[in-house]
């Protein structure tokens, strides 16, 4: 409960700094491009994010027109940072684009025109044709699970499908490589996210076909 209060106070602080974002949004709308402002970049950067990477990120979303907040991953649901695969349509296009080449620990303010966000129809509570602004903070970047190379490494029994045990073993190795081993609940959370998004037929396995479903998606 306390954590949640702190989270929302953080969101409110962000909320108070929005007037500058509105200026940025106006120019973004003119050229229809994603605008990126780097707020913080760590000196050490061992791994920059690229398409197919598994990202762990906190992000807060605001409407450019009046600065009102429509999404806060710090208070939404369990309040934990969100897991998603970059560049494959698990987040809006503007975030898939705007979060490329990010280092773990980096913070960005990303202004996204409606065409690369929620479009002409909007998505409640985002109105139609709305430019949105996201403040993102990256906690971790790890390779895969979308590269075919990663699939091969994960599928240790070579049956062309991934069990939870196979994916988990892979993630553990990846995190230990980066010097940040985690506890079991941490991996369980990632696994739940990955399987919810990838195991289309809910049989508890990610088949090669399910794994490849985004392979030819273009932004």
Instruction: Out of 155, 170, 174, 193, point to the residue binding Ca ion (CB under 5 A).
Output: 155
Work out how close the CB of 195 gets to Ca ion at its nearest, in angstroms, rounded to a whole number: 8
Is the backbone of residue 193 left (phi > 0), alpha (psi -120 to 50) or beta? alpha
Pure H helices in the chain:
2-15, 19-31, 93-98, 148-154, 164-177, 184-198, 208-211
Which range touches Ca ion (CB under 5 A), out of 98-106, 111-119, 177-185, 192-200?
192-200
Instruction: Out of 76, 149, 203, 215, point to the residue binding Ca ion (CB under 5 A).
Output: 203
Residue 130's contacts (CB-CB under 8 Å, 6 or more residues apart) are 63, 64, 65, 114, 117, 118, 122
Which range touches Ca ion (CB under 5 A), out of 85-93, 154-162, 174-182, 188-196?
154-162
16 bridge partner residues: none
Tokens encoding 180: 């940040």
Instruction: Out of 61, 109, 205, 211, point to the residue binding Ca ion (CB under 5 A).
Output: 205
Work out how close the CB of 150 gets to Ca ion at its nearest, in angstroms, rounded to a whole number: 13
Instruction: Out of 44, 184, 201, 218, point to the residue binding Ca ion (CB under 5 A).
Output: 201
Work out how close the CB of 142 gets to Ca ion at its nearest, in angstroms, rounded to a whole number: 20
The full DSSP string for 129-143 is T--EEEEEEEEEEEE
Total binding residues toward Ca ion, as defined by CB under 5 A = 7
Work out how close the CB of 156 gets to Ca ion at its nearest, in angstroms, rounded to a whole number: 7
Question: Contact, 54 vs 145, CB < 8 A?
Answer: yes
Which residue shows structure tokens 């508890």?
204
Tokens encoding 95: 């975030």
- The residue among 44 and 201 lying less far from Ca ion, judged by its C-beta, is 201
Which range touches Ca ion (CB under 5 A), out of 10-18, 29-37, 101-109, 158-166?
158-166
Kindly state whether residue 43 participates in binding Ca ion, applying the rule CB under 5 A. no
- The residue among 59 and 170 lying less far from Ca ion, judged by its C-beta, is 170
Question: 3-state class of 7 per DSSP?
Answer: helix
Kindly state whether residue 209 participates in binding Ca ion, applying the rule CB under 5 A. no
Question: Contact, 135 vs 14, CB < 8 A?
Answer: yes
Alpha-carbon distance of 55 to 139, in angstroms, equals 8
- The residue among 82 and 163 lying less far from Ca ion, judged by its C-beta, is 163
- The residue among 34 and 194 lying less far from Ca ion, judged by its C-beta, is 194
Alpha-carbon distance of 80 to 140, in angstroms, equals 13
Q: Which residues bind Ca ion (CB under 5 A)?
A: 155, 157, 159, 199, 201, 203, 205
């Amino acid at each position: 409960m306390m954590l949640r209060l702190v989270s929302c106070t953080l969101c409110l602080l962000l909320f108070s700094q929005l007037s500058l974002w509105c200026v940025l949004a106006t120019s973004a709308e003119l050229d229809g491009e994603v605008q990126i402002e780097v707020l913080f970049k760590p000196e050490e950067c061992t791994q920059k994010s690229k398409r197919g990477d598994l990202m762990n990120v906190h992000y807060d979303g605001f409407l450019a027109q009046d600065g009102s907040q429509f999404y806060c991953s710090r208070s939404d649901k369990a309040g934990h940072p969100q897991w998603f695969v970059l560049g494959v349509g698990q987040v809006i296009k503007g975030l898939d684009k705007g979060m490329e080449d990010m280092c773990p620990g980096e913070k960005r303010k990303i202004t996204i025109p409606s065409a690369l966000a929620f479009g002409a129809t909007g998505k409640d509570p985002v109105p139609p044709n709305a430019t949105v602004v996201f403040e993102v903070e990256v906690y971790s970047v790890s390779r895969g699970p979308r590269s075919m190379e990663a699939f091969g490494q994960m599928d240790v029994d070579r049956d062309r499908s991934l069990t939870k045990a196979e994916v988990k073993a892979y993630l553990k190795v990846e995190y230990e490589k980066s010097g940040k081993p985690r506890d079991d609940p941490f991996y369980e959370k990632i696994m739940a996210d990955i399987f919810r998004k990838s195991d289309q037929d809910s049989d508890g396995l990610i088949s090669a076909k399910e794994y490849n479903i985004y392979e030819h998606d273009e932004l």
